[in-house]
Amino acid sequence: MHLGDKLLQQNKPGVRAYARKALTPAAVAGLASLALAPQAFAEDDAMATAPADSAQVSGVTVTGRNGNEPVSAKFTAPLLDTPRSVTVIPQEVIQQTAATSLQDILRTSPGITFGAGEGGQPLADRPFIRGQASANNIFVDGIRDSGGQVREVFNLEQVEVVKGADSAYSGRGSGGGSINLTSKRPRLDNFINGSVAGGTDNYVRGTVDANYRLGETSALRLNLMGTQGDVPGREAVDLERWGFAAAAAVGLGTDFRVTGLYYHLETDDMPDYGVPLFTKLGPTAPRTASGVLDVPRDSFYGLKARDFQRTKADIGTLAVEADFHPNLTVRNVFRYSKTLNDYVVTNPGDGGVAQFVGGEWWMKRGTKSRWNPTTTIANVTDVFGKFDTFGLQHSFDVGLELSRETNKNAAYAIYTTSGAPCPAGFSGASNNLGVGDCTRVYAPNPDDPWQGRITRPTPSVNRTKTVGIYAFDTIELSPQWLLNLGVRHDEYSVDGLDATITSANGLITGTTLTPRSGDWDFTNYQAGVVYKPTANGSIYASWSTSSTPPTISAGDQNTGTGNGTGNLANVLLEPEDVTSAEIGVKWAFFGQRLTTSAAYFDLKRENAQVQIEPGVYGQVGEVEARGVELAVTGAITRAWQVFGGYTWMDSELVRGSYNVINEGDPLANTPEHSFSLFTTYKVLPQLSVGGGAYYVSKSFGGNQGGAGGGTNRIYAPDYWRFDLFASYQLRDNVDLQLNVQNVGDEDYIARTNGVHHADYGPGRQAILTLNVRY
């Protein structure tokens, strides 16, 4: 009898769910992980039987598993037999690293960087994957999570990163990959997990994760979080956040399951635009090798009296899943979400060139601002299962996605009526930013007084509609050969009003609304072949595509400008095209406890808009990123856990603007080398120790004049960062965890936009956490 059929006959809901996703004899290497791997969104019944305390903070003991699996039904084979690079960051790593943000989590996955805030992009999570800006490719439980946000981790089961062009999976996108955040789900168990943490820099954090079994097939789960603290090493930069999540499920472990989820998060932070670049001091000022101004790490140019960043997210989800046959499941997910990103931040490089007055350097504070509410309504239907035809076994998923997003965007009109005075002799002290509001470049004071007007104008409005239909199939040609195919077709449209605002002294004097609209249709593909020389190993080759409509930013490549410039005033651009080829090998060792992978990839973006002569634009831009990625996750021994990898990437702006100032340069936010390794070792039954090591080579801030070419090559220098971890189990259900982040207190630039500013990474911080499980 086929092993998958044997599993389906077992009275284990988690095993049945996994078997329904068409595990073939060639995929038996992943079966050992079934009882432990969280299958949150796609397998509610698997979550129902998972142990409540399976994620032990004091060092994880892993036996007979090859890592967590993605939760989406679009993955029609386990990771070992999926022909592309996919990283699953489990809850154990999230907890042990004391991560509190998406940036903290993704630091453990090499090849991913974050871009600095910039005027055209909200001050929020801006990941770059394989050289491509991927802020528009973040998903929650498989549905696109649009809108600029600062995300939290208290309600996450795991994080999945798909690398390479993946529009067949996710629809429109920037081509570098996508990130899926998997929420915690109700289980058929009773438990309460709580944590209380305190640390240096006024850090305080508390979380509660409670699950209640309400009946034979129903359960309720609640998650609460509150935190506040200062950013280590940065003057005046602090955060305050709270949130909760509630989920209820009925029918767990049966053939018909309904789950409702609600998530709420509010943040109130002091935003930080880092430190200026030497270009803001004028041509007579000395420059550093990197171009980042040589000021102390704690130099903060913002104003406590004016600056703020407040975000809010409310996300409601209803998931219904029905098994019509052991080999056929239908799932429908409906989502309604509202998010808000609202901020005024001081940009130290945007108030004009600094001036040398009275024997020292002075600059006028510039501002960036955003009021950006986003509403999303989406419905995704999947039909997945398996069937046999002509002697071939198929594991399939077909689906339909319908979504509508409304995105409002406005920059505040800001005027200073009373602020820190500019010194005598400072030219341009009064301009559209108002009077005063100056600061010393080498001794900024965030406590400077400020009074003025902050007025929100009529916002621009964009409404997008998506209709996407897709199909995936993993075909078992023989026990050693698998064929993976996928296709998706999208109808994508945008309509809205662009608001042009005129103001004087912080008051709105006029608003011009210009309608715009566009619609595109595009089809994307993926194809891969897998050869399995053994049950615990696979060798693969794959090819995939992605489409980037012009309404989606490709990031800081700056190969051109938006619609409405020069000859493009009345021309609708075509989507940019991304193709990605990859070959690799995946292997599991030590009884499936440890999985490793190695891949070579070549990604090319074409059809990008660039200026081909003064005032004339064409879609002939091209960028390329190729490299090697290594990854390891799991247990070397029962006491020794590892998670991490290494990426070497060679990127290039192949063809840019007509002046070729940046052609041949590496892409923005794309380091050549990146390495991460987090490891723990249980030295005693109660004591685990370990830590993380992270390396990022230098990366340019932007491909444009003054950033990636000419005489002004601005970059973030390379750096090493080391973290320490220790955990001691006081009782069976109580442990103490100590994390020391950036233990060497390394001064490093985490990112720069190459034009205005650079952002320091956080300094050293010690965090002590008490974890209790009932």
- Could you give the CA distance from residue 20 to residue 45 in angstroms, rounded to a whole number? 12
Q: CA 216, CA 253: separation in Å to the nearest integer?
A: 9
Supply the pLDDT for residue 427.
Answer: 82
Weakest mean pLDDT among 25-34, 275-284, 288-297, 478-487: 25-34
pLDDT at residue 559 greater than cutoff 70: no
Of 121-130, 446-455, 563-572, the one with minimum mean pLDDT is: 563-572
499 pLDDT more than 80: yes
Q: Which residues pair with 705 in a beta bridge?
A: 709
In 3D space, the residue among 329, 336, 411 whose CA is nearest the CA of residue 120 turns out to be: 411
Higher pLDDT among residues 31 and 390, named by residue:
390
Interval 613-628: pLDDT, tens: 776 777 778 889 999 9
* Selected residue with higher pLDDT from 119 and 736: 736
Nearest to 403 by CA among 384, 376, 426, 381: 376
DSSP at 81: G
Compute the distance between CA of residue 368 and CA of residue 411 in angstroms, rounded to an integer: 8
Residue 233 — very low, low, confident or very high, per pLDDT cuts 50/70/90? Answer: very high
Q: Is the model's pLDDT at 5 over the cut of 50?
A: no
**Average confidence (pLDDT) over 669-676:** 94
The answer on pLDDT for 269 being more than 80 is yes
| HEC assignment per residue over 296-310 | CCCCCCCCCCCCEEE
Q: Token digits for 35?
A: 């009882």
pLDDT in the model for residue 757: 87
pLDDT of residue 283: 64
Q: If you average pLDDT over residues 546-572, what whole number do you get? A: 54
Range ranked top by mean pLDDT from 68-72, 247-251, 370-374: 247-251
pLDDT at 45: 37
DSSP H or E run through 33: none
pLDDT at 24 over 70: no
CA 452, chain centre distance (Å): 36
Give residue 431's pLDDT band: very low, low, confident or very high (50, 70, 90).
Answer: very low
Q: Which of 532, 467, 380, 528 is nearest to 72 (CA)?
A: 380
Per-residue model confidence (pLDDT) at position 516: 84
698 pLDDT band, cuts 50/70/90, is very high
- Listed range (215-224, 260-269, 661-670) with the worst mean pLDDT: 661-670
CA angle 484, 105, 166 (to 5 degrees): 25
Residue 44 has pLDDT above 70, yes or no: no
Give the list of residues 6+ apart from residue 166 with CB closer than 8 angstroms, or none.
84, 137, 173, 177, 178, 526, 544, 546
pLDDT tens digits for 304-327?
999 999 999 999 999 999 999 999
> Which residues are CB-neighbours of 593 under 8 A, at least 6 positions away?
62, 63, 64, 65, 66, 634, 635, 636, 638
pLDDT of residue 61: 33
Residue with the larger pLDDT of the pair 536 and 428: 536
Place of tokens 């794309």: 670
Higher pLDDT, 572 or 687: 687
* The token pair that represents 220 in the structure block: 């309720």
What pLDDT shows up at residue 127?
87
pTM of the model: 0.87
Confidence bin at 56 (pLDDT 50/70/90): very low
Distance CA 752, CA 758 (A): 4
DSSP string, 42-80: T-HHHHHHS-TT-S-TT-----S--------TT--S-GG
One-letter amino acid identity for 218?
A: S
94 burial type by CB count under 10 A (0-12 exposed, 13-18 middle, 19+ buried): buried
pLDDT band at 189 (very low <50, low <70, confident <90, very high): very high
Residue 531 has pLDDT above 80, yes or no: yes
Fold exhibited by the domain 72-173+191-773: Maltoporin; Chain A (2.40.170)
**Which residue, 271, 296, 291, 267, is CA-closest to 279?**
291
pLDDT score at 703: 54
Q: With CA atoms as reference, report the closest residue to 607 among 591, 594, 596, 623.
A: 623
Q: Are 336 and 313 in contact (CB under 8 A)?
A: no
Strand-pair partners of 66 = none
Residue with tokens 């929420």: 183
Range scoring the smallest mean pLDDT among 94-98, 208-212, 444-448, 560-564 = 560-564
Predicted confidence (pLDDT) at residue 6 exceeds the cutoff of 70:
no
Q: Which of 89-103, 173-187, 654-668 has the lowest mean pLDDT?
A: 654-668
Residue 64 has pLDDT above 80, yes or no: no
Question: Would you call 13 helix, strand, or coil by DSSP?
Answer: helix
Of 653, 673, 676, the residue nearest 754 (C-alpha): 653
What pLDDT is attached to residue 173? Answer: 84
Within a 10 A sphere around the Cβ of 374, how many other Cβ atoms? Answer: 22
Alpha-carbon dihedral of residues 116, 121, 127, 131, nearest 10 degrees? -90
The Cα–Cα gap between 500 and 705 comes to 27
Query: What is the distance in angstroms between the CA of the first residue and the CA of the last residue of the chain?
Result: 42
Whether 560 shows a pLDDT value over 90: the answer reads no
How high is the pLDDT of residue 120?
Answer: 47
> Is pLDDT larger for residue 550 or for residue 769?
769
Give the pLDDT of residue 657.
72
| pLDDT at 760 exceeding the cut of 80 | yes
- Cα distance between residue 135 and residue 179, in whole Å: 9
- Residue 40's pLDDT band (cuts 50, 70, 90): very low
Burial of 711 (0-12, 13-18, 19+ CB in 10 A): exposed
The two most distant CA atoms of the chain are separated, in Å, by 89
Q: Higher pLDDT residue, 657 or 487?
A: 487
**Sign of CA pseudo-dihedral 129, 133, 135, 138:** negative
Name the nearest CA neighbour of 167 among 488, 492, 542. 488
- Among 68-82, 591-605, 736-750, whose mean pLDDT is lowest? 68-82
Q: What are the pLDDT digits (tens) for 580-624?
A: 999 999 999 998 899 999 999 999 998 877 777 776 777 778 889
**Mean pLDDT for the chain?**
84
pLDDT digits (tens, 9 = 90+) for 383-427: 999 999 988 999 999 999 999 999 999 999 998 888 888 888 888
Query: Tell me, what's the pLDDT at 565?
Result: 52
- One-letter amino acid of 234: R
Contact 168, 488 (CB under 8 A): yes
Return all residues near 9 (Cβ < 8 A) that are at least 6 apart.
none
Ranges of each domain in the chain: 72-173+191-773
Q: Per-residue confidence at 265, pLDDT binned at 50, 70, 90?
A: very high
Residue 555: closest CA among 84, 126, 4: 126
What pLDDT band is residue 709 in, cutting at 50, 70 and 90? very low
CA dihedral 112, 115, 120, 123 (to 10 degrees): 110
Q: From residue 352, how far is each of 36, 274, 282, 287, 304 by CA, in Å?
A: 57, 16, 10, 17, 21
What is the arrangement of strands in the sheet containing 127-129, beginning at the earlier edge strand? 112-114, 127-129, 132-133
Evaluate whether 479 touches 532 at the Cβ level (below 8 Å): yes
Least confident window among 90-99, 188-197, 252-261, 429-438? 429-438
Q: What's the pLDDT score for residue 351?
A: 80
Nearest to 753 by CA among 207, 110, 292, 105: 292
- Host H or E run for residue 658: none
Percent of the chain's residues with pLDDT above 90 = 61
